Chains A and B, each alone.
Chain A
Amino acid sequence: MTAVLAIQNLVHRFPGGVQAVNDVSFAIAPGETLGLVGESGSGKSTIGLLATRLLAPTQGRILFEGQDITRLSAATLRPLRARLQVVFQDPWGALNPRMTIGRLLEEPLRLHGGNLAEARLLAERVRLPLATLGRYPHELSGGQLQRVSIARAIANRPKLIVLDEPTSSLDLSVRAGILQLLEELQRETGVAMLFISHDLETVRLVSHRVAVLYLGRIVETGPAAALFETPGHPYTQTLLSAHLPPDPFVALRRHRVQGEIPSPINLPPGCFFAGRCPLALPACNAGPPAMQPLAPGQEAACLRIADRTNRLEPAEDPA
């Protein structure tokens, strides 16, 4: 089956020398959710912008439903946009404050001559009270506004939705409702999703597969369960061990690393994590490490995997 989205060797450099994305490749199948996790500066939002061609890459290829969209002009892209949608973190910034919710829902429907009746169906679909259709964005809660954003994204039966931190500004119980809605929509329509987040627990819950980014490079990728159960790359191990599970009876097993993510200007020639990695070898600084297989569908870019010496020391409970 053709991937809905295929990203090949993508590179993006911002003016000023910030290398935000470094040779990233992945594909998303119909009905699949790929979770993209990383800390700030890892390039996850830039990848979201590139995948939806709101930004043009410096190098590499982007294929949407088999069609190369890497260099398409804004005008040529427009007819594709109905099928390639995006939802951002901040619905207050994403929705026109001067339009009523009803008009905001009608707007995307107009592409195929939709009307208010269809807007009502759309509202019901995302469980938005019909009473909100006459209101303005500032009169709705964050959770309701995010439902409006999602409704607009699904209005024209998209094949892919890029979700960039869609629940990060929402409270816990509201967040659960949005995640449930996304899961339902995917089950009913088979839409593929690229779910970008720094929230490890949420990514684990919603994703089929996960890719871990560090300084614009994918350091590990695999099925969500395998990656979270047995992370292979020392950075993935470190990241997961720093997470605080909301359960006081789960002991923390934290791997300590030195320092914070270095600046994405003047990146080293080898593994970007080598400077903080307790397992780094001289060879790690020679060149970018190749992906090594760990388990079916799971691979990580670490030289230590070849002889299975990639496990960080059993960490101590910091408490």
Chain B
Amino acid sequence: MTLLAVQDLHVEFATRGLDNRLRVAQALNGVSFTVAAGEVVGLVGETGAGKSLTALAAMGLLRPPARIPHGSIRFEGREIIGLSDRELEKIRGRRMAMIVQSPLTSLDPLKRIGDQLVRMQRVHDTAHGAAARTKAEAMLAAVRIPDPARRMRAWPHELSGGMAQRVLIAMALVNDPALIIADEPTTGLDVTVQAQVLDTLRDIVAARNLGALVITHDLGVVAHYCQRVAVMFAGRIVEDGPVREVFSRPSHPYTRALIDSTPGRIAQLGWTVTGGTPPDLYDLPQGCLYRDRCPRAATACLAAPPRIAVSGTHGAACHFAGEAA
């Protein structure tokens, strides 16, 4: 069952520079993907590609000067673009919840962990009083926090980074949402802690048949925790498909460049990738946005490439996607 369906989403920012001239940055340029119940979808790309912006749009959290001139975001079958804050509040934190990168700045430093978990339930009217406390403690246990009864009384500053991230996962899950959006959920954590937190998240998503959108720049997280992946470049999804298919047959030159930039591949292949800057979002070129950096660029690339199917479930927005790379 499809939980989240984003279709041809555009987001732009109109800002005034020092010269008071209005300039428009086209930050998302036609993003489409879906997340179904029981699957973990990875959204991967470099800084400025629009990963976090996509997450914020899906959560209904965009505010002016951000504008959605075009596109659709359907959650559980319902269009959420244009919903009032009142209506969005019934969905956010309730049916869909977000986990962000910096756990310690996302917890209220003046409230005990248990009280914050209870408040989440009270605000959304899912449970109150003793029932809410019992649920809160059960959630801490579910995210494998040792001695949850004692941790209910802990202050945020008493938690390590890994523990704080687990508490944030518990907060996101306490109202039994259908969809989790995790924006770089383990980026600040040490490797051994990262592995434990990701295992916990994956097990809970599977056990409760949730859908999850995981935003990351780490191909290791995509490779081992996601079933499907969407690769973003300059506000577009340039390739999407099952993780194993995309890694074994990357069909967009940017996806290939990303994979070939990992140290393990450099050790095998040598220095094949030359970096470059993404296009100017204030002045987007026509056609393929990766053209300037692409080793395969040709005249055809002056026209915007459609998504070309590589298999029934795998596609890439490249004129040459069907051909052998």
- B window 233-273: CB within 8 A of A: 243-244, 247-248, 257-259, 261-264, 266-267, 271, 273
Assembled-state Cα–Cα distance A104/B220 (Å): 37
A260 and B224: CB pair below 8 A? no
B261 and A205: CB pair below 8 A? no
Please give, as numbers and ranges, the residues of chain B lying within 8 Å of A249 by CB-CB distance.
Answer: 244, 247-248
Q: Could you tell me how many residues of chain B have their Cβ less than 8 Å away from some Cβ of chain A?
A: 39
Assembled-state Cα–Cα distance A205/B271 (Å): 11
- Contact A173:B261 (CB < 8 A) given known A39-B190, A247-B223: yes
Please give, as numbers and ranges, the residues of chain B lying within 8 Å of A204 by CB-CB distance.
Answer: 263, 267
Assembled-state Cα–Cα distance A14/B257 (Å): 44
Please give, as numbers and ranges, the residues of chain A lying within 8 Å of B263 by CB-CB distance.
Answer: 179, 199, 201-202, 204-205
Please give, as numbers and ranges, the residues of chain B lying within 8 Å of A142 by CB-CB distance.
Answer: 47
A261 and B190: CB pair below 8 A? yes
B277 and A141: CB pair below 8 A? yes
Please give, as numbers and ranges, the residues of chain B lying within 8 Å of A283 by CB-CB distance.
Answer: none
Chain A, residues 229-246, CB within 8 Å of chain B (1/0): the string is 000000000110011111
Assembled-state Cα–Cα distance A242/B244 (Å): 20
A171 and B264: CB pair below 8 A? no
Q: Could you tell me how many residues of chain A have their Cβ less than 8 Å away from some Cβ of chain B?
A: 39
Across the interface, name the chain A residue whose C-beta is closest to B160: A260
Assembled-state Cα–Cα distance A319/B277 (Å): 36
- Contact A172:B262 (CB < 8 A) given known A180-B271, A244-B218: yes
Q: Is B195 an interface residue (CB 8 A)?
A: yes
A260 and B162: CB pair below 8 A? yes
Across the interface, name the chain B residue whose C-beta is closest to A171: B46
A143 and B275: CB pair below 8 A? yes
Across the interface, name the chain A residue whose C-beta is closest to B260: A176
B273 and A176: CB pair below 8 A? yes
A173 and B276: CB pair below 8 A? yes
Assembled-state Cα–Cα distance A243/B218 (Å): 11
B221 and A248: CB pair below 8 A? no
A173 and B248: CB pair below 8 A? no
B247 and A248: CB pair below 8 A? yes
A172 and B217: CB pair below 8 A? yes
- A window 230-274: CB within 8 A of B: 238-239, 242-250, 252, 254, 257, 260-261
Distance from B217 Cβ to chain A, minimum over Cβ atoms (Å): 7
Q: Is A175 an interface residue (CB 8 A)?
A: yes
- Contact A39:B160 (CB < 8 A) given known A141-B277, A246-B259: no
Assembled-state Cα–Cα distance A204/B261 (Å): 14
- 6 new A-B pairs (CB below 8 Å) besides A173-B258, A205-B267? A173-B275, A244-B218, A248-B244, A249-B248, A250-B223, A260-B160
> Considering the complex of A and B, which 4 residue pairs feature the smallest CB-CB distances, nearest first?
A244-B220, A246-B219, A39-B190, A201-B263
Q: What are 30 A-to-B residue pairs whose CB atoms are below 8 Å?
A: A39-B192, A40-B190, A142-B47, A143-B275, A173-B46, A173-B261, A173-B273, A173-B274, A174-B46, A175-B261, A176-B261, A176-B266, A176-B275, A177-B275, A179-B263, A180-B271, A201-B262, A202-B263, A205-B267, A242-B192, A244-B224, A245-B264, A246-B222, A246-B259, A247-B264, A249-B244, A249-B247, A249-B248, A250-B223, A260-B162
Q: Residues of B with Cβ closer than 8 Å to A? A: 46-47, 160-162, 190-195, 199, 217-224, 243-244, 247-248, 257-259, 261-264, 266-267, 271, 273-277
